[in-house]
């Protein structure tokens, strides 16, 4: 091999031809500082911190400049050090100090270098347009401000891991690293391997610890974890940084792993054994019955638990399966199923902190990995693992998922078999738009996991039509109507959907007229409801009425404060009617001379529906909120209602959610009836306050039920 002879800092050395000045110096014990260069990466020479004097007109970047015969290199002369310091000052001018890495571990390479060079107050002006942060990934926090555009992450992702996710975007002052086509990191094809993060010299890419929970179980050595196929390709350093975020648990047969209704923040991956998943809360709804009394004043309402055989409600959905946070749905009649090695459960709880949807017990001795969000994120993004989960879903869960939607309950197996390989399984991050109002309608979607917000554009802003959880569907209105999306559907949290292409949807409708009929009926009801809402909203002034959320209500209990003497007869009547527990609090928001009492408003934007782990709280097409039989009593809806209008009702050891029942068993609400001063009214707000708000006559007339009773 031919060699090259040169001198570095006065020392005569010889190195193989093609060696860079930086490597030649390093091999001979001479240290040259670097930022964009790392030993395991191809040098790109972008930061220029490694400049040396080679006797030419301009200094050379030693990480890319090859040695030449007879070259005389100066690595630390005063002018070289001065040039390097100026470069560091310029980088520091745009760098938040301390950055996240410096703050956490004190080893931001730029800040360490700046301290060594005595750079404290940079002389250069900071950039005026901030580049911002990106918190969309569950495992890696991106602070574009701290990025020095050294390209180490780009080479880590593209050259080392071959994931090809990161590149550069923008020019000049707007230049920044970008993921795919400049998407938020969490929405990109990033597989959360962590290579970019361990490559980054600053706090621009840092590890995100989502929850500081101490998991019980065996802490795992990163080397051991990396042997599991599902962790293939993950950076060992990344796992080191997340030690304790995944543990191994050995659970004897019969022991409970998690309980329905409990809040949690972990998911489980079964390594060995079989578990049984079930719902233990009695399946039944809260039925209100007139319990009699001496007079109208003392008549009571009793809440009992009724099953469908004993008491059928017209508004029941007719579901045969209960959606849960696992790759199976539970049959309504006998809500029990089994999961085995290779299955993952608790994804929704872990990703979005929803309560557990079912109780899971070890049927045989089992070994599970229990993990926090950032580790689950790695698993979910592992392409092989994802493909395996999706394969299992197509085989085991797609059929029950489709059948769990009442309009598809009778779909023959051969057509589901046809759909099995044709549907597309898609994921969306929080805030991502799945379909946009006005776009061409080309597919139909079933929600597999998470919650989807459906909203419509109006002159005053977007109006939320509803939230859809697992087992719900969207996209049929555009396909059945004019081929254009009628609303925008956005992922509220981490959402998985099953996408059925438009041509398969139309084939399904032509083969099964009953499905067409049912879908058309639902679409008509939804369209009518949307029209009513549009008519009601377009003329309402955006003021207090909106600020207080009254626009969201379709039924309000209001007390006229000019008539109300604060005698509390309404509260007493409510308590008398409901086994001594009032469902009405005589406090709340004020609008004009009215007090809006605490009682279910049947909101247009029913936040109570978001997050129900078993999808048992829903809205009928008439907009009323209904709680289905399989409520597990976790209380999330009670907490989510911004107005405190839902309650948990105890039936022995178990609980069920219930709202103000409007005293349906009586002719009118007990509170309204009991008020001796005619101050209490149950009203439809737009009709009742229409005159005051200047709402058009026809709108008031067009509004649905519920004028003052
Ligand atoms: S985590 Fe891995 S895949 Fe994602 S951007 Fe970083 S290096 Fe690329
Ligand atoms: S994010 Fe880090 S590694 Fe990537 S270009 Fe910026 S500073 Fe370099
Ligand atoms: S309806 Fe409410 S209490 Fe019942 S399971 Fe759903 S969120 Fe929990
Ligand atoms: S380390 Fe050589 S140019 Fe950055």
What Cα–Cα distance (Å) separates residue 87 from each residue in 46, 60, 198, 387, 523? 11, 14, 24, 47, 63
Find where tokens 């509260």 sit: 571
CB 673 within 8 Å of CB 709: no
Long-range Cβ contact pairs of 241-244 (< 8 A, separation 24 or more): 241/194, 241/207, 242/207, 242/209, 242/372, 242/374, 242/375, 243/219, 244/214, 244/215, 244/219
Q: Is 47 in the pocket of ligand 2 (CB under 6 A)?
A: no
Q: Is 47 in the pocket of ligand 4 (CB under 6 A)?
A: yes
- Confidence band of 599 (pLDDT split at 50, 70, 90): low
Checking DSSP bridges between strand 274-278 and strand 336-340, what pairing results, if any?
antiparallel
Residue nearest ligand 1's atom 7 by CA: 157
Residue nearest ligand 1's atom 2 by CA: 193
Burial of 406 (0-12, 13-18, 19+ CB in 10 A): middle
pLDDT of 598 > 80? The answer is no
Q: Is 402 in the pocket of ligand 1 (CB under 6 A)?
A: no
- Confidence band of 213 (pLDDT split at 50, 70, 90): low
More confidently predicted of 518 and 85: 85
What pLDDT was estimated at residue 200? 94
**DSSP assignments along 397-429, one per residue:** IHHHHHHTSGGGTT--HHHHHHHHTT-EEEEE-
Give mean pLDDT, residues 359-366.
Answer: 96
Q: Is 190 in the pocket of ligand 1 (CB under 6 A)?
A: yes
What are 610's two structure tokens?
């978001």
Residue nearest ligand 3's atom 2 by CA: 637
- Residue of 604, 605, 591 whose CA lies nearest to 557: 591
What pLDDT was estimated at residue 580? 73
How many angstroms does the Cα of residue 383 sit away from the middle of ligand 1?
Answer: 13
* Residues whose CB is less than 8 angstroms from the CB of residue 602 and which lie 6 or more positions away in sequence, other chains included: 553, 554, 555, 623, 624, 625
How many angstroms does the Cα of residue 196 sit away from the middle of ligand 1?
Answer: 5
Q: Is 659 in the pocket of ligand 1 (CB under 6 A)?
A: no
How many angstroms does the Cα of residue 115 sit away from the middle of ligand 1?
Answer: 30
How many angstroms does the Cα of residue 662 sit away from the middle of ligand 4?
Answer: 72
Q: What is the pLDDT of residues 306-350, one digit of tens each?
A: 877 777 776 666 777 888 888 888 888 889 999 999 899 998 888
CB 75 within 8 Å of CB 25: yes
Q: Which atom of ligand 2 is nearest to the CA of 199?
A: 3
- Confidence band of 71 (pLDDT split at 50, 70, 90): very high
Residue of 635, 651, 655, 658 to test ligand 3 pocket, by largest number of atoms within 8 Å of CB: 635
Residue nearest ligand 3's atom 8 by CA: 634
Q: Which atom of ligand 2 is nearest to the CA of 142?
A: 1
CB 71 within 8 Å of CB 5: no
Give the whole-number percent of the chain exceeding pLDDT 90: 30
Q: Is 153 in the pocket of ligand 2 (CB under 6 A)?
A: yes
**DSSP assignments along 661-684, one per residue:** -TTTTSSS-HHHHH-TTS-EEEE-
How many angstroms does the Cα of residue 46 sit away from the middle of ligand 3?
Answer: 55
Residue of 109, 202, 206 to test ligand 2 pocket, by largest number of atoms within 8 Å of CB: 202
How many angstroms does the Cα of residue 181 sit away from the middle of ligand 4?
Answer: 27
pLDDT of 700 > 80? The answer is no
How many angstroms does the Cα of residue 524 sit away from the middle of ligand 1?
Answer: 46
- Full-model pTM: 0.73
3-state secondary structure of 573: helix
Residue nearest ligand 2's atom 7 by CA: 147
Other Cβ atoms less than 10 A from the Cβ of 540: the count is 21
467 secondary structure, DSSP code: E
Residue of 158, 190, 241, 377 to test ligand 1 pocket, by largest number of atoms within 8 Å of CB: 190
Residue nearest ligand 4's atom 3 by CA: 45
Q: Which atom of ligand 2 is nearest to the CA of 148?
A: 7
Q: Which atom of ligand 4 is nearest to the CA of 37?
A: 1
pLDDT of 181 > 70? The answer is yes
Find where tokens 């022995």 sit: 652
Please report which helix (H) or strand (E) contains residue 133, including its range. Answer: strand 133-134
Q: Which atom of ligand 2 is nearest to the CA of 151?
A: 5
d(C-alpha 387, C-alpha 162), whole Å: 19
Q: Is 33 in the pocket of ligand 4 (CB under 6 A)?
A: no
Please report which helix (H) or strand (E) contains residue 92, including its range. Answer: helix 78-93
CA 631 to chain centre: 22
Burial state string for 479-505 with b = 16 or more CB within 10 A and e = fewer than 16: bbeeeebbbbbbbbbbbbbbbbebebb
CB 243 within 8 Å of CB 329: no
Q: What is the pLDDT of residues 400-432, one digit of tens each?
A: 888 877 778 778 888 888 888 899 999 888 888
What are 136's two structure tokens?
């969309």
CB 452 within 8 Å of CB 492: yes
Give mean pLDDT, residues 248-263.
Answer: 93
d(C-alpha 170, C-alpha 178), whole Å: 9
What pLDDT was estimated at residue 692? 60
Query: Quick one: CA dihedral 609, 610, 616, 620, positive or negative?
Result: positive
Q: Is 45 in the pocket of ligand 4 (CB under 6 A)?
A: yes
Q: Which atom of ligand 2 is nearest to the CA of 200?
A: 3
Find where tokens 């599970």 sit: 368
Ligand 3 neighbours, Cβ below 6 Å, are 612, 614, 616-617, 627, 631-637, 657
Residue nearest ligand 1's atom 3 by CA: 190
Q: Which atom of ligand 1 is nearest to the CA of 164?
A: 8
Q: What does the mean pLDDT of the chain come to?
A: 82
d(C-alpha 71, C-alpha 487), whole Å: 69
First-to-final CA distance of the chain: 99
Residue of 20, 23, 43 to test ligand 4 pocket, by largest number of atoms within 8 Å of CB: 43
Please report which helix (H) or strand (E) contains residue 271, including its range. Answer: strand 267-272
d(C-alpha 442, C-alpha 500), whole Å: 9
What Cα–Cα distance (Å) separates residue 602 from each residue in 96, 544, 662? 48, 19, 11
**φ, ψ for residue 520, nearest 5 deg:** -65, -40
How many angstroms does the Cα of residue 245 sit away from the middle of ligand 2?
Answer: 25
- Residue of 164, 148, 137, 187 whose CA lies nearest to 47: 148
553 secondary structure, DSSP code: -
d(C-alpha 495, C-alpha 428), whole Å: 5
Give mean pLDDT, residues 526-551.
Answer: 58
How many angstroms does the Cα of residue 512 sit away from the middle of ligand 1?
Answer: 46
CB 335 within 8 Å of CB 279: yes
Other Cβ atoms less than 10 A from the Cβ of 283: the count is 21
What pLDDT was estimated at residue 281? 87
**φ, ψ for residue 486, nearest 5 deg:** -95, -10
Burial of 555 (0-12, 13-18, 19+ CB in 10 A): buried
Checking DSSP bridges between strand 3-8 and strand 72-73, what pairing results, if any?
parallel
What Cα–Cα distance (Å) separates residue 321 from each residue in 124, 330, 495, 629? 65, 5, 20, 12
By mean pLDDT, which of 124-138, 148-162, 164-178, 484-498 is the weakest? 124-138
How many angstroms does the Cα of residue 554 sit away from the middle of ligand 3?
Answer: 22
């Amino acid at each position: 091999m031919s060699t090259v002879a040169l001198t570095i800092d006065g020392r005569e050395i010889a190195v193989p031809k093609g060696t860079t000045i930086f490597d030649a110096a390093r091999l001979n014990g001479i240290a040259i500082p670097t930022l964009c260069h790392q030993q395991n990466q191809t040098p790109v020479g972008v930061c220029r911190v490694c400049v040396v004097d080679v006797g030419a007109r301009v200094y050379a970047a030693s990480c890319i400049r090859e040695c030449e015969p007879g070259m005389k290199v100066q690595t630390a002369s005063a002018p070289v050090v001065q040039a390097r310091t100026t470069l560091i000052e310029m980088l520091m001018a745009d760098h938040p100090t301390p950055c996240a890495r410096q703050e956490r571990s004190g080893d931001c390479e730029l800040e360490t270098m700046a301290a060594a060079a005595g750079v404290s107050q940079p002389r250069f002006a900071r950039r005026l347009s901030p580049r911002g942060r990106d918190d969309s990934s569950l495992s890696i926090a991106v602070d574009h401000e701290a990025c020095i555009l050294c390209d180490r992450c780009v080479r880590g992702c593209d050259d080392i891991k071959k994931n090809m996710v990161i590149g550069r975007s923008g020019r000049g002052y707007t230049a920044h690293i970008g993921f795919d086509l400049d998407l938020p990191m969490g929405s990109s094809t990033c597989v959360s391997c962590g290579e970019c993060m361990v490559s980054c010299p600053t706090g621009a890419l840092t590890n995100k610890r989502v929850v500081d929970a101490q998991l019980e179980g065996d802490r795992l050595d990163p080397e051991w974890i990396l042997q599991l196929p599902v962790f293939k390709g993950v950076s060992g350093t990344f796992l080191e940084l997340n030690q304790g975020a995944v543990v191994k648990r050995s659970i004897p047969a019969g022991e409970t792993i998690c309980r329905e209704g409990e809040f949690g923040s972990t998911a489980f991956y079964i390594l060995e054994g079989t578990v049984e998943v079930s719902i233990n809360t009695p399946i039944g709804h809260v039925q209100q019955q007139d319990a009699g009394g001496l007079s109208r004043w003392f008549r009571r309402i009793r809440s009992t638990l009724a099953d469908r055989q004993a008491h059928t409600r017209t508004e029941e959905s007719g579901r045969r399966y209960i959606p849960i946070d696992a790759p199976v749905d539970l049959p309504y009649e006998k809500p029990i199923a089994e999961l085995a090695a290779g299955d993952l459960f608790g994804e929704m709880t872990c990703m979005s902190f929803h309560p557990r949807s079912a109780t899971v017990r070890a049927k045989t001795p089992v070994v599970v990995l229990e993990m926090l969000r950032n580790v689950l994120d790695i698993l979910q993004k592992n392409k092989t693992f994802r493909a395996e989960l999706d394969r299992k879903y197509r085989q085991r869960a797609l059929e029950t998922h489709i059948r769990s939607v009442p309009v598809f309950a009778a779909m023959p197996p051969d057509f589901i078999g046809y759909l099995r390989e044709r549907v597309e399984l898609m994921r969306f991050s929080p805030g991502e738009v799945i379909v946009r109002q006005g776009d061409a309608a080309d597919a139909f979607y079933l929600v597999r996991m998470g919650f989807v917000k459906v909203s419509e554009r109006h002159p005053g802003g977007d109006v939320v039509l509803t939230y859809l959880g697992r087992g719900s569907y969207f996209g049929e209105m555009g396909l059945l109507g004019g081929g254009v999306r009628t609303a925008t559907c956005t992922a509220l949290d981490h959402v998985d959907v099953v996408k059925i292409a438009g041509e398969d949807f139309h084939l399904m409708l032509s083969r099964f007229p009953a499905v067409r009929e049912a879908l058309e009926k639902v679409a008509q009801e939804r369209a009518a409801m949307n029209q009513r809402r549009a008519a009601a909203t377009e003329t309402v002034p955006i003021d207090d009425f909106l600020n207080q959320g009254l626009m969201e209500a379709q039924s309000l209990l209001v007390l006229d404060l000019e008539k109300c003497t604060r005698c509390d007869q309404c509260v007493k009547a409510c308590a008398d009617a409901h086994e001594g527990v009032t469902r009405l609090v005589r406090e709340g928001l004020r609008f004009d001379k009215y007090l809006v009492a605490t009682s279910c408003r049947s909101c247009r934007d029913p936040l109570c529906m978001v997050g129900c782990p078993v999808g048992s709280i829903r809205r009928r097409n008439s907009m009323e909120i209904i709680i289905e039989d399989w409520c597990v009593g976790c209380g999330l809806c009670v907490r989510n209602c911004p107005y405190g209008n839902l309650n948990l009702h105890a039936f022995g050891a178990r609980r069920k959610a219930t709202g103000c029942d409007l005293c349906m068993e009586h002719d009118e609400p007990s509170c309204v009836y009991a008020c001796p001063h005619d101050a209490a009214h149950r009203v439809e707000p737009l009709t009742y306050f229409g005159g005051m708000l200047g709402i058009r006559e026809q709108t008031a007339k067009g509004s649905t039920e519920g004028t003052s009773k």
